[in-house]
Amino acid sequence: MSTENPIASASADAEHPAGGVGTNREAFSVPAFRRLALAWVFSNFGDSVLFLTAAIWVKQLTGSDAAAGMVFAALGLPALLSPLMGKLADSYRRKPVLIINNVCAAVVVLFLLAVRDADQLWLIYAVMFGYAASSYVTAAAQSGLLRDLLADRLLAPANGLLSSIDQGLRIVSPLLGAGMLALWGMDSVVLLACGCFVAAAAVLGTLKLTESVFAVDSTETFWQSTTAGFRFLARHSLLRPAVVTLCAAVGATGVLNVTIFATNEQGLGMPPEFLSVLLSIQGVAAVLGGLTASAVIRRVGFRATMIMSVAVLALAVLLTALTVPALVFTAAVLLGVSASWLVIGFVTLRQRETPGRMQGRAAAATHVLTNVPQVAASMAAAALIGVVDYRLLIAAMGAVCFLALLPLLRSAGARRPVG
């Protein structure tokens, strides 16, 4: 069984990592990471090409916005089950888990070929739920796999590169999926997504690494083992304030999912189609954020990166309440860059501070703690925007983002134990 301290084994260079964080070039020079990145391209392309296209397809089948919106609900609900996915990732070797998971995702997606009319909506929702659940398995298993694959100093650039791939594909692949749907029907999209998942599994099969093996703690109950990631984050002197800041800031931005429509139409006076321009700007900025994250962390450290990111995020949120196009475009850029820096900074810090046997469960706990508040904020904003001026909602969101800084600022002077 691992002898790593699960409470506060903070590395000496975690807060002042000058020279302790590598570059994008160094991370990409590792052959095994290049293979993992290629598998990530295939699996994320399959994911991105499917999720938005499925909602458009349901809209075509039913003519209902509510039915199309339920696709996104089906995609979001598996976040509640992610602790089980984290336990799965920590209980078995992660490379086989990733391979089997991609194959299972391909099989699940194939069931969409059986859908022919609106009477089979239940099957679409079930498939969306199943394939979304597989993405949480991937995220949990990959966290531990990266820790075995790379030295700690290369985790930040690796996470940044993977994030940039993800964001870049989310700009391009939904457009491709919508075009394929219009030209050749949904079956072509399904077969493409299936082929991507199979290709990802095949690439992962060629990955060569020595995985860490950890003994199962036989004294823990199923519940204790499944929820161990939450307890670990809550007890860790550095990760506890960091995760509170992350969850508050990311959760608050859920309001933006609703107010962005009002910003576009009421603030800028633009048609709904113009929203794609704002989202594309934000997506390109997120790619840039992923590529520059390791350089920022290398210069200022993890805590300062997160503090700076949340402050910029709060400013960007407030700028979306304005009616000047140049400032709203600036907000989109700042949102993309700051969100990438924030998430990459925290994820890398969590990977470095978390024992190998806990990687999947700590990652899964993070997914729950960020996704649930964000969904709740979106639902609250959707309920309020009809009776409250959207600018007031944006102001409240900005205030919460600024308040989210307090846990990290208060812990800045705290004495950190070194493991």
CA atoms within 13 A on the CB side of 186: 22
The amino acid present at 205, given as its one-letter code, is G
Query: Is the pLDDT reported for residue 301 higher than 80?
Result: yes
CATH architecture of 23-213: Up-down Bundle (1.20)
- Name the average pLDDT for the chain: 86
- The terminus-to-terminus CA distance of the chain in angstroms comes to 18
**Per-residue pLDDT, 65:** 66
Can you tell me the mean pLDDT for 315-319?
95
For residue 197, the tally of other CB atoms under 10 A from its CB is 27
Q: Of 20-29, 133-142, 214-223, where does mean pLDDT reach its minimum? A: 214-223
Q: Do domains 23-213 and 229-411 have the same CATH topology?
A: yes
Residue 214 tokens read as 């950890």
**Domain 229-411, CATH:** 1.20.1250.20
Residue 300 pLDDT level (bands cut at 50, 70, 90) = very high
The continuous run of DSSP H or E covering 65 comes out as: helix 65-76
**Per-residue pLDDT, 413:** 55
**Per-residue pLDDT, 412:** 66
Residue 296 pLDDT level (bands cut at 50, 70, 90) = very high
Residue 277 pLDDT level (bands cut at 50, 70, 90) = confident
Residue 70 pLDDT level (bands cut at 50, 70, 90) = confident
Of 349 and 58, more confident: 349
For residue 145, the tally of other CB atoms under 10 A from its CB is 26
- CA angle, 403 as apex, 397 and 407 as ends, to 5°? 140
**Which residues, in sequence order, are CB contacts of 231 under 8 Å at separation 6+?**
none
**Per-residue pLDDT, 344:** 95
Residue 127 tokens read as 């498939």
Domains in the chain: boundaries:
23-213, 229-411
Name the one residue in this structure whose structure tokens are 């994008």: 24
**Per-residue pLDDT, 319:** 94
The continuous run of DSSP H or E covering 164 comes out as: helix 155-184
For residue 235, the tally of other CB atoms under 10 A from its CB is 12
Can you tell me the mean pLDDT for 289-311?
94
Residue 317 pLDDT level (bands cut at 50, 70, 90) = very high
Record the pTM.
Answer: 0.86
Can you tell me the mean pLDDT for 10-27?
63
